[in-house]
Amino acid sequence: MAMPMKSESWLLPHLTQSLRRRQSVLSSWRDQQPTLGGRIRNFENWLLVELVHELVSAGFEVRTNGQFDERKVAPANVPNLSGRKALAKNLSADLAVRSGSRTYSAEIKTGLDRARILDDLRIVKHYHDAKIANRCELAWVTLMPRDSGGHASALKSVSRTISEIQREHGNVILHEGHIGNLLTYRILVPQ
């Protein structure tokens, strides 16, 4: 895999392929009752497994919950980190990929919990600034409710979160996409 240009995502083609290939399963995920934070329990783990399958099938070396160089990242080194990740002993990438001498990392976030999304973006920015990997990205996938009221509410929540992201980080959204009215997804890359 060639290193992506600044305006390209290493993760986007694999995420898009995984989501498109599994639309019927995603539809079933959407039918679950979300938690109060707007999360579908275990959806994030399922998405990570699908991405691992996609990347390994494409011939990449993949690791979950860590970086290839075993570097420890202390939460105290990530500015403005809050929530449960701020209390962790060490932080580790959800997904790390190696291609030759290049490494790539990603955090995967699902749901509508603004604080968690912002924390993961802060972590990705720290990975970028500390050169933990050659390219660090955040994939944010949101299953949209079927009912029109819930759908409209979810879109408002996404919009408010994007506004907050732009206030804190500037324009970091590299790509926005959707699969019908089933879900929206974004790749965010802080600079």
Per-residue pLDDT of 109-136, as tens digits, reads 998 999 999 999 999 999 999 999 999 9
Structure pTM?
0.90
Q: How does pLDDT run across 57-76, given as a tens digit for each residue? A: 999 999 999 888 878 899 99
Q: Is residue 4 part of a domain?
A: no
173 touches 132 (CB < 8 A): no
Is 104 within 8 Å of 40 (Cβ atoms)? no
Q: Is residue 56 part of a domain?
A: yes
When pLDDT is averaged across residues 23-46 and rounded to a whole number, the result is 78
Q: How many domains does the chain have?
A: 1
Closest CA to 145 of 4, 16, 40: 40
Segment among 93-97, 144-148, 176-180 with least mean pLDDT = 144-148
3-state helix, strand, coil in the chain (%, to 5): 40, 20, 35
Containing domain of residue 36, as a range? Answer: 12-188
On whether the CB atoms of residues 191 and 128 are closer than 8 A, the answer is: yes
Domain presence at residue 7: no
In whole numbers, what is the pLDDT of the chain averaged over residues?
89
Strands 173-179 and 183-188, bridge-based pairing: antiparallel
Answer whether residue 102 is part of any domain: yes
How much is the pLDDT for 2? Answer: 45
